[in-house]
Amino acid sequence: MIAAPAIQNLLEQLERLPGVGPKSAQRMAYWLLNTDRDTALNLASAIVEVKETVHFCSRCFNYAQEDVCEICGNTARDQGILCVVSEPRDIPPIERTAVFDGVYHVLGGALSPMEGIGPDDLHVAELLRRLSSETVREVVLATNPNVEGETTAAYLARLIKPLGITVTRLASGLPVGGDLEFADEVTLGRALEARLQL
């Protein structure tokens, strides 16, 4: 054992983070050792707070600290337009475009026959329940532009169109096969503005 056990343990925990290898973990660990006590402990508390207080929004399944998320709780948002995404992490990039002013519904994944993920594994029933109880005039299908996302969008379009609700899909412009999470604001903003009715 080269380093103190506490440092060794910190290195192991840091390496579990996505995109963090041994060298970045070492750089972070020494930074945490060197930095003042409060800065380091603030990071630790932020992690604890997120795990203790964040759960799913009871309406849209985004992450929330209250019963509903920040977006569902904002009465200024247009409740008549509902954007369907796969994961909570897909919401911030759409918000950053400042093009969309409606509300969201998080599916919690995408249809994938390969991985055995069917409609019952996603929040599809909850979506249909919202569409019958809320006054929604348009559903924007903003699932990822890859096979699973397209399959999910096609499946939802078939379910929702008979309800007399306009169903749209993000316009092309997104690189196909990519991840919505990492799209830049301009591309994603244009894709939102040029969304096509299905």
Residue in 60, 61, 63, 103 binding its own copies, rule: CB under 8 A: 63
Question: Strand pairing of 63-64 and 55-56?
Answer: antiparallel
Q: Compare residues 50 and 171 and give the one whose CB is closer to its own copies.
A: 50
Per-residue contact string for residues 14-53; x = within reach of its own copies by CB under 8 A? x-xxxxx--xx-xxxxxxxx---x-xxxxxxxxxxxxx-x
Q: How many CB atoms lie within 10 A of CB 69?
A: 25
CA 158 – CA 162 distance, rounded (Å): 7
Residue in 58, 59, 60, 65 binding its own copies, rule: CB under 8 A: 65
Closest CA to 111 of 102, 121, 101, 103: 121
Least separation in angstroms between residue 69's CB and its own copies is 7
What are the b/e assignments for 153-188, b being 16+ CB within 10 Å? bebbbeebeeeeeebbbbeebbeeeebbeebeeeeb
Residue in 78, 182, 186, 194 binding its own copies, rule: CB under 8 A: 182
Q: Compare residues 46 and 163 and give the one whose CB is closer to its own copies.
A: 46
Q: Compare residues 48 and 125 and give the one whose CB is closer to its own copies.
A: 48
* C-beta of residue 138 within 8 angstroms of C-beta of residue 168: yes
Residue in 92, 116, 162, 164 binding its own copies, rule: CB under 8 A: 92
Closest CA to 158 of 114, 111, 106: 111
Per-residue contact string for residues 108-147; x = within reach of its own copies by CB under 8 A? ----------------------------------------
Closest CA to 104 of 91, 120, 123: 91
Q: How many CB atoms lie within 10 A of CB 92?
A: 9
Residue in 60, 72, 84, 91 binding its own copies, rule: CB under 8 A: 91
Q: Which residues bind its own copies (CB under 8 A)?
A: 1-7, 9-10, 12-14, 16-20, 23-24, 26-33, 37, 39-51, 53-54, 63-65, 69-71, 87-89, 91-92, 95-96, 181-182
